[in-house]
Chain A
């Protein structure tokens, strides 16, 4: 059994509070990946990505589900609670402030361009996460095909996400299980 590095609840709260507050333009999952995997090394890439896939299959908002997954892995129930409460605290007050001042903000003529710029940068962060995940998948034929099949089904054909995952994921898992046994034996 590999254990996650010791991380205090205060560290979890502090990190997810900042992610919530800084994540202008959305794409919080790429923020979480950056901080948890790239900068802090609290989780491996594969651990994070499989948790992220679970978060997308489950109902609810993907990014907060991912936060719960990370918090649970690091510190159990309190870790999960700290992660989600922290991640929602900043945006909660920010959105109320935005509601109070919105006529003043919307009235400012440059706002639309600023928001476009922010959204484009956030999307660039998501693309960076995609490259990182794609590199991992490109190591073998099976994962590469699984990635391609998911992308073609969900992204290109726009088939229902759950249906595509229900077909692709079991095949991908069974093949990697058989390959794992082959490596050991």
Chain B
């Protein structure tokens, strides 16, 4: 490890994961753990799990695990480099696809693709919800909250989600205090 440039290592770990991660951030956790814990021994398994927990405390996309690992092994520069390495390759690809896609807007076949893809997106959303249900981290109280929040937002579409997030956090905390 001492002969290896840590910045170069961050890029060579994360840039391929950027392109390999199809279907969201959850796909990168296992390979990232393998590289940083098993192969390079930058941290212990326990430290990795702690960093994973920390990345979930902060707002943002689930993949903020990458900057936090960069921060842990190489400070601010490492965090910045890890973020760029993870996001730049896939973002360039997505930009190219979006550009081509939006150029042909208005053509009949473009409308057909749009109409044909929308229900596929709906199916993927419900699959995502079912996947989170399967994780088993959520109890009956969570599911009650999910239904309540969805209902409230259907009824009042412009209700600000931060208010709901604050209320949810407070309610779960109070129930925890009352129950324990």
Complex Cα spacing A110 to B95, Å: 41
B-facing residues in A142-181 (Cβ within 8 Å): 142-144, 146-151, 153-156, 161-162, 165, 168-169, 172-177, 180-181
Interface residues on B, range: 35 or more
B interface: dominant SS: helix
- B122/A130 in contact, CB under 8 A: yes
Give 7 closest A-B pairs by Cβ, nearest first.
Answer: A91-B60, A124-B149, A150-B123, A60-B90, A117-B172, A155-B127, A173-B116
Residues facing A in B133-155 (CB within 8 A) are 137-138, 141-143, 145-150, 152-154
Chain B residues in 8 Å Cβ range of A55 = 94
Please state if B59 and A22 are interface contacts (CB–CB under 8 Å). Answer: yes
- In the complex, chain A residues whose CB is within 8 Å of the CB of B115: 46, 50, 143, 173, 176, 180
Query: Residues 12-23 of chain B: 1 if any A CB is under 8 Å from the residue's CB, otherwise 0?
Result: 000000111111
CB < 8 Å: which of B114, B138, B147, B169 contacts A50? Answer: B114
Contacts of A2 in B (CB 8 A): 105-106
- Tell me, rounded to whole Å, the shortest Cβ–Cβ distance linking B51 to chain A: 7
Q: Closest approach, in angstroms, between the C-beta of B81 and any C-beta of chain A? A: 12
* A68 x B95 contact (CB < 8 A): yes
A113 touches B173 (CB 8 A): yes
Interface residues, chain B, with chain A CB atoms under 8 Å away: 18-25, 50-51, 53-64, 67-68, 71-72, 76, 79-80, 83, 87, 89-91, 93-95, 97-99, 101-102, 105-106, 108-109, 111-132, 137-138, 141-143, 145-150, 152-154, 157-158, 161-162, 164-165, 167-173, 175-177
Contact B116 A117 (CB under 8 A): no
CB within 8 A of A124: which of B57, B123, B126, B164?
B164
Q: Which residues of A are found within 8 Å of B24, using beta-carbon distances?
A: 56, 61-62
